[in-house]
Amino acid sequence: MKITYKFADGTISEVEVSEELGQAITTSRREEENYERKMRYHCPISIDQLEYQGIEFADPDTPFSLYERKLKEQEQKAINDFVMSHLTETQRRRIQLTADGLTTREIAAIEGVAQQVIVKSLQAARKKAIVLKKEFEKNFKK
C-alpha cells in the first residue's frame, strides 16, 4: 500500500508500507480529521462570535479572554492602589492585618486597644473605600 505525504512547501512524497501499517495510518488520519472537524464545529472561537456573544462566553483561556482578564486585574489594582493611598496609615495597617487573616480581637490585642475601636476603624475604612471607588470610576473610567 502506498501512503502519500504532503509537506507544507508543496512537495509530495509516497512511501510503500505494509497493508496493516497503511490501514493504521489511514485510520489515524481519518480520526484526526474527524476530531479537527468536530472541534471546529463545537468550539469555534472567532472575533465575530466574541463580539456577538460577548467575552464571558469565550473559552477562559483564549487570548481574548486572557487579555480581558488582565485588563480587569490591572483596573482592580489601580482602584485598590487609589483607595489605599487615600486611607490613613492606621486604616491601611488594620486592613492589611485583616487581609493577613487576623481577627479584630487579635488586632486589638496587638495594638493594645479595645476590639470595638478596630471594628469602627475598619467600618470607616470600608465606607471611605466605597466613596473613593465611586470617585475613581467616575473620574478615571471614561
For residues 2 and 21, what is the distance between their CA atoms, to the nearest angstrom?
10
93 pLDDT higher than 90: yes
pTM: 0.50
CA 82, 83, 88: angle at the middle one, nearest 5? 115
CA 83, 88, 89: angle at the middle one, nearest 5? 110
Q: What ranges do the domains of the chain cover? A: 2-43, 60-140
Average pLDDT of the residues in 112-132: 93
The tens digit of pLDDT for each residue in 51-72 reads 555 555 555 566 666 777 788 8
What local confidence, expressed as pLDDT, does residue 124 receive? 93
Is residue 136 a contact partner of residue 118, using CB atoms and an 8 Å limit? no
| CATH number for the domain running over 60-140 | 1.10.10.10
For residues 104 and 110, what is the distance between their CA atoms, to the nearest angstrom?
10
The tens digit of pLDDT for each residue in 23-35 reads 888 898 898 888 7
Average pLDDT score, the chain: 82
